[in-house]
Amino acid sequence: MTPTAEPTLAPEMPLQSPGSVSSGRRSQKSATALWMLRRLLLSLLVLFGVSVLVFVATQALPGDPAVQILGHGAQPEQLAALREQLGLDRPLLSQYGHWLGNVLTGSLGESLTSPQSVGSLLLDRALASLALVLSSAAIAIPLGIVLGSFGAIRRDRPFDYASQGVLLVLTALPEFVIGLALLILFGTTVFQVLPAVALIPSGGSAFMHPRELALPVITLVLAVLPYLTRLQRAVMIDVLESDYIQMARLKGLPERLVVRRHALRNSAVPVVQGSALTLIYLTGGIVAVEYLFAYPGLGSALTTAVAGRDLPVVQAIVLLLASVYVVINLVADFLTVLLVPRLRTQRA
Amino acid sequence: MALEAEITRRDLLRAGAVGTLALGAGSLLGSDAARAASSSLLASTPKRGGTLRVGIAGGSPTDDFDMAHINGPSATVRGQVFYETVTYLDGNFRLHNDFLAQEVQPNATGDRWTVRLKPGVEFHNGKTLTADDFLFSIRRLLDPKSGATAAGQLLGIDLKRTRKRDKRTVEFVLKRPFSVFDYLLSDIVYVVPVGYDPKRPVSTGPWKFKSFQPARRTVLERFPNYHGTLAYADELVLTELPDDTARVNALVSGQVDAINQVPYARVAQLKRQSGLRVAVSPTGGFNPITMRVDVAPFNDVRVRQAIRLVMNRKQAIATALYGQGTPAADTYGRFDPSFNARLTREQDIEQAKSLLKRAGKEGLKLELVTSPIAAGIVEASQVLAENAKAAGINITVRKVDPGTYFSQYGKWPFGIDFWVGLPYLVIASIKDGPGASVVNVTHFNDPQFNSLFNQASRQLNQQERTQIVHEMQKIQYERGGDIIWSFQNGVDAYSTKLGGIQPIDKTAWGLGRAQLNKLYFR
């Protein structure tokens, strides 16, 4: 699967106040700062909304955490004792208030029965997932830019056709299928060269286990590469056909310089947005891939926590993933504003 | 193969009873066992050393290492590997009254049981096992605050009148007689020392605790002062792999040395794979489809019998279990010495139709709620629905996730359940006997059955008891609420690098009753 939403090529424009028409550089700067602040506050509002949604959604899940913890043979008095201990017998609003209070003070609460707190339970897994996302992004984004640019420059030539064909096929395949195919090819049946299951002990960094990382990372790279490459190719083709490139060529600049100095730089903005979307997609995409390779990250913790109705863990992971979304979006928008001179100075 | 495994087990256990503790004696024993057995798999001399890596099913981030919390498949394996019980039911369904106990004796009426513990059994913290520890463990299991899984089965103990008689002897007083109390003690009634801290667990078992990460892995190391067979491997790593595919892949790619709960669909293929040994064992475990006998239309025994008769059990075993099962006849307790194996039930559509006609329930419409809580149960539900059409019964199969299923457990009129192969009266005492409550999902409450149960509970003579149990099984066969269509096989898989494998485990707990201390690298 690839992200379905098209990247927003232009970020939300900084608002112009009528009085700022004749203002100078300083007020432009402060307007940008104001816009950033507004975006920041809006993001916090979004997160608050998410927290309510997550809480309500977890409460709506059919199933009883106490039964999940004690087992289906639990005696009624055992269940009552546990519900009281966990505060599951209190009104919903009070449970939400308690949870939000915890979150705001930086504590994600206590897991339902695990002796560890949710925070310590998740830190290790969050770092493992981060390693997975960052490695995949670090490979996929540059590769996508290179392949896409190359495809644009060699447009309608054999390389372009071949890469477009392969990428189209990949686009059509869900990452679960890609992962399974890689697993059969390199892990179990055809060649047994890479570990089929990512048995990474906790404590150390996942980067210390490159062999275990290999298959999940390749799967994720193949899942996002088509989108990135096709985006970069489309943007590059647009740029290469624009007037200023024509002008640069007419000036007699060598093609290499035209591409490097003019085309690539001008294609940066959509790529920043595209990369942000890719990161966001990867953050969500880990759930399936982690499950497939039994990778000990947030995704697999989420699937087991949902199955086990460990609501504090579910709430913490979803809120964490939502925060990642919001932060990446925010950073991408800020970067875009900084990259595009027009967006910084347009007010004049 | 069954015989060979038996010889090994008996030898090792006999030696354990004699109290051979020395390290050398352990390996000597192993070679004795090897001489006794002709199988090439057992013919190698056990060696010490190495890290044994086992992939196990299940696992949740909320798991802990508490001896009281044996909820779910991974906790079950961890519990069996790490903790010990006073009596021990082996993979061949023989009870050993001399495991942590020296002897277990009932009084003439079966309502007082004296458990005398072995001398000199050491906990990992250096403490010697005493009556106080055993009583502490029982009290802990019965404390509602500890949320113990075993609480339900121990409710018959009169805790106030149960006391220690001397340093190593506990006298249990039961609220009512229970002739198989010794069997009951072998099932997840784990013994820990006074002052037990679940965050730093200790036991009398062959493995000492090193570390535990919920839903990831458990690391244990050999306990050198173990009272039985010293572990051959230096270290044991249990990795939790809830996904069937990942678990099999981990074994195939050599990342673990053994796995439990091999998915039935993969058995045939794995058997052909070199370097692997698939251990298939018949078990007394069963996954019934359940009907509540107290609600319409199942309160009419003719309806229950009709639905039991429409199911093609052989087809269900072939489709849902890929052939890994044996047809059953709506009663349980296979391998229990008192099991009546002569009861059988074949599909009989005509009789089912006539029963429904007499009950005035032709064209019955039902909803069967099912959930993937055990291998093949969803598929078996679908087979039943398909079979039922022939008798004009319209069964809609509704599949829900396990969390949803268990939240209404015991309430669904037409649902499912899962059981390991415990002794007959132990199951009956929790499932459908007079004291059963929470897990009595069929709400079976039959005066004649209850009276027979009480008789059997008083009867200490095995042969006399068998007569009574046969009558109980006949009642279940004639009017029970369970469709017990199969006893499923237990399937584990091992790397051929391992020796000491005990392939037979009739209890359905798996991994040769989790006797991982007896596995060694060739």
Q: Which of residues 475-514 of B touch A (CB under 8 A)?
A: none
Q: Which two tokens stand for residue A216?
A: 């999940």
Cα angle B25, B31, B35; round to 5: 140
Residues A281 and A273: their CA atoms lie apart, in Å, by 12
Q: Which of residues 38-57 of B touch A (CB under 8 A)?
A: 55
Residue B32 confidence (pLDDT) above 60 = no
Q: Would you call B406 and A81 a contact, using CB atoms and an 8 Å cutoff?
A: no
When CB atoms are compared, the residue of A121, A291, A304 closest to B59 is: A304
Residue A101 confidence (pLDDT) above 90 = no
Residues A254 and A214: their CA atoms lie apart, in Å, by 40
When CB atoms are compared, the residue of A80, A115, A308 closest to B199 is: A115
A282, A263 contact by CB (below 8 A)? no
Q: What is the mean pLDDT of chain A?
A: 80
Residue B24 confidence (pLDDT) above 90 = no
Residue B9 confidence (pLDDT) above 90 = no
Q: Which of A101-110, A284-293, B172-181, B346-355 has the lowest mean pLDDT?
A: A101-110
Q: Would you call B407 and A70 a contact, using CB atoms and an 8 Å cutoff?
A: no
pLDDT, position A26: 64
When CB atoms are compared, the residue of B60, B64, B249 closest to A188 is: B249
Average pLDDT over residues B371-391: 94
Whole-number percent of chain A with pLDDT over 70: 85
Query: How many angstroms away from the CA of B62 is the closest CA of chain A?
Result: 5
Residue B5 confidence (pLDDT) above 50 = no
pLDDT, position B20: 34
Residue A247 confidence (pLDDT) above 60 = yes
B229, B29 contact by CB (below 8 A)? yes
Average pLDDT over residues B181-194: 95
- Residue predicted with more confidence, B19 or A161: A161
Contacts of B199 in chain A (CB under 8 A): 115
Q: Would you call A75 and B152 a contact, using CB atoms and an 8 Å cutoff?
A: yes
Q: What is the pLDDT of residues B399-431, one digit of tens each?
A: 998 888 988 899 999 999 999 999 999 999 999
**Which ipTM score applies to this complex?**
0.71
Q: What is the pLDDT of residues A113-144, one digit of tens each?
A: 555 677 777 888 888 888 888 899 999 999 99
Annotate A202-226 with DSSP letters as a single string. SSS-GGG-HHHHHHHHHHHHHHHHH
Query: How many angstroms away from the CA of B52 is the closest CA of chain A?
Result: 15
Determine phi and psi for B474, rounding to 5 degrees.
Answer: -65, -40
When CB atoms are compared, the residue of A72, A81, A201 closest to B145 is: A81
Average pLDDT over residues A50-66: 84
pLDDT, position B318: 96
pLDDT, position A203: 65
pLDDT, position A346: 54
Q: Would you call A294 and B250 a contact, using CB atoms and an 8 Å cutoff?
A: yes
Q: Does A117 touch chain B (CB under 8 A)?
A: no
Query: How many angstroms away from the CA of B460 is the closest CA of chain A?
Result: 28
Q: Which of A169-183, B244-258, B468-482 has the lowest mean pLDDT?
A: A169-183
Query: How many angstroms away from the CA of A157 is the closest CA of chain B?
Result: 41
Among A184, A192, A304, which would you mutate to test the B interface (most chain B Cβ atoms within 10 Å of its Cβ)?
A304
Residue A275 confidence (pLDDT) above 80 = yes
Q: Does B427 touch chain A (CB under 8 A)?
A: no
Query: How many angstroms away from the CA of B366 is the closest CA of chain A?
Result: 22
**Nearest Cα residue in chain B from A200:** B216
pLDDT, position A202: 66
- Residue predicted with more confidence, A92 or B350: B350
Q: Does A309 touch chain B (CB under 8 A)?
A: yes
- Residue predicted with more confidence, A293 or B19: A293
Residue B33 confidence (pLDDT) above 70 = no
Q: Would you call B215 and A301 a contact, using CB atoms and an 8 Å cutoff?
A: yes
Q: Which of residues 291-350 of B touch A (CB under 8 A)?
A: none
Query: How many angstroms away from the CA of B257 is the closest CA of chain A?
Result: 13
pLDDT, position A22: 46
Residue A153 confidence (pLDDT) above 90 = no
Q: Would you call A73 and B252 a contact, using CB atoms and an 8 Å cutoff?
A: no
Residue B22 confidence (pLDDT) above 70 = no
Q: Does A74 touch chain B (CB under 8 A)?
A: yes
Q: Would you call B59 and A187 a contact, using CB atoms and an 8 Å cutoff?
A: no
Average pLDDT over residues B426-440: 89
Residues A188 and A194: their CA atoms lie apart, in Å, by 8
User: In 3D, which of A311, A294, A320, A246 has the Cα closest to residue A114?
Assistant: A311
User: In 3D, which of B79, B16, B34, B27 has the Cα closest to residue B49?
Assistant: B27
pLDDT, position B295: 95
The helix (run of H) or strand (run of E) holding residue A287 is helix A268-292
Q: How far apart are the first and last CA of chain A?
A: 43
- With cut-offs at 50, 70 and 90, classify the pLDDT of residue B384: very high
Q: What is the pLDDT of residues B59-110, one digit of tens each?
A: 877 788 999 999 888 999 999 999 999 999 999 999 999 999 999 999 999 9
**Nearest Cα residue in chain A from B273:** A189
Q: What is the mean pLDDT of chain B?
A: 89
- Residue predicted with more confidence, B22 or A82: A82
Contacts of A296 in chain B (CB under 8 A): 215-216
**Nearest Cα residue in chain A from B406:** A72
Average pLDDT over residues B345-351: 96
Contacts of B439 in chain A (CB under 8 A): 72-73
Q: Which of A53-57, A281-285, B230-234 has the lowest mean pLDDT?
A: A281-285
Which residues are within 8 A (CB) of B160 and not within 5 positions of it... i.e. 6 or more apart? none
User: In 3D, which of B415, B358, B355 has the Cα closest to residue B391?
Assistant: B355
Residues B59 and B104: their CA atoms lie apart, in Å, by 35
Count CA atoms within 13 Å of residue B46 on its CB side. Answer: 30
* B258-259 vs B51-56, strand pairing mode: parallel
Residue B141 confidence (pLDDT) above 90 = yes
Q: Does A60 touch chain B (CB under 8 A)?
A: no
When CB atoms are compared, the residue of A81, A291, A305 closest to B243 is: A291
Contacts of A216 in chain B (CB under 8 A): none
Q: Does A314 touch chain B (CB under 8 A)?
A: no
Q: Which two tokens stand for residue A148?
A: 């896409």
pLDDT, position B128: 96
Q: Which of A221-235, A269-283, B146-160, B435-449 has the lowest mean pLDDT?
A: A269-283
Q: Would you call B255 and A195 a contact, using CB atoms and an 8 Å cutoff?
A: yes
The helix (run of H) or strand (run of E) holding residue B469 is helix B462-479
Q: Does A199 touch chain B (CB under 8 A)?
A: yes
Residues B336 and B425: their CA atoms lie apart, in Å, by 9
Residues B494 and B114: their CA atoms lie apart, in Å, by 40
Residue A205 confidence (pLDDT) above 80 = no
Q: Would you call B253 and A62 a contact, using CB atoms and an 8 Å cutoff?
A: no
Average pLDDT over residues A230-255: 86
Residue B14 confidence (pLDDT) above 80 = no
Q: Does B269 touch chain A (CB under 8 A)?
A: no
Residue with tokens 């508490």: B66
Residue ranges of alpha helices (H) inside A61-117 are: 65-70, 76-86, 92-104
Q: Does B70 touch chain A (CB under 8 A)?
A: yes
Residue ranges of alpha helices (H) inside B172-225 are: 181-184
When CB atoms are compared, the residue of B59, B62, B239 closest to A199 is: B239
Q: Which of A106-115, A130-139, B216-225 has the highest mean pLDDT?
A: B216-225
Query: How many angstroms away from the CA of B252 is the closest CA of chain A?
Result: 6
Q: Would you call A62 and B404 a contact, using CB atoms and an 8 Å cutoff?
A: yes
* B394-399 vs B258-259, strand pairing mode: unpaired
**Nearest Cα residue in chain A from B146:** A78
Q: Which of A193-202, A250-259, B172-181, B474-483 has the lowest mean pLDDT?
A: A193-202
Whole-number percent of chain A with pLDDT over 90: 5
pLDDT, position A198: 79
pLDDT, position B239: 93
Average pLDDT over residues A308-335: 85
Average pLDDT over residues A235-253: 86
Query: How many angstroms away from the CA of B27 is the closest CA of chain A?
Result: 32
Q: Which two tokens stand for residue B446?
A: 């039959």
Q: Does B61 touch chain A (CB under 8 A)?
A: yes
pLDDT, position B17: 37
Q: Does A105 touch chain B (CB under 8 A)?
A: no
Q: Which of residues 128-187 of A touch B (CB under 8 A)?
A: 183, 187
Average pLDDT over residues A201-223: 82
- Residue predicted with more confidence, A260 or B12: A260
Residue B490 confidence (pLDDT) above 90 = yes
- With cut-offs at 50, 70 and 90, classify the pLDDT of residue B36: very low
- With cut-offs at 50, 70 and 90, classify the pLDDT of residue A6: very low
- Residue predicted with more confidence, B10 or B414: B414
Whole-number percent of chain B with pLDDT over 90: 76
- With cut-offs at 50, 70 and 90, classify the pLDDT of residue A279: confident
- With cut-offs at 50, 70 and 90, classify the pLDDT of residue A109: low
Look at residue B55 and give its three-state secondary structure. Answer: strand
| Positive or negative: CA dihedral B170, B171, B174, B178 | positive
Residue B244 confidence (pLDDT) above 50 = yes
Q: Would you call A112 and B152 a contact, using CB atoms and an 8 Å cutoff?
A: no
Residues A253 and A248: their CA atoms lie apart, in Å, by 6
Q: Which of A161-165, B35-39, B262-266 has the highest mean pLDDT?
A: B262-266
Q: Which of A175-189, A318-332, B188-202 has the highest mean pLDDT?
A: B188-202
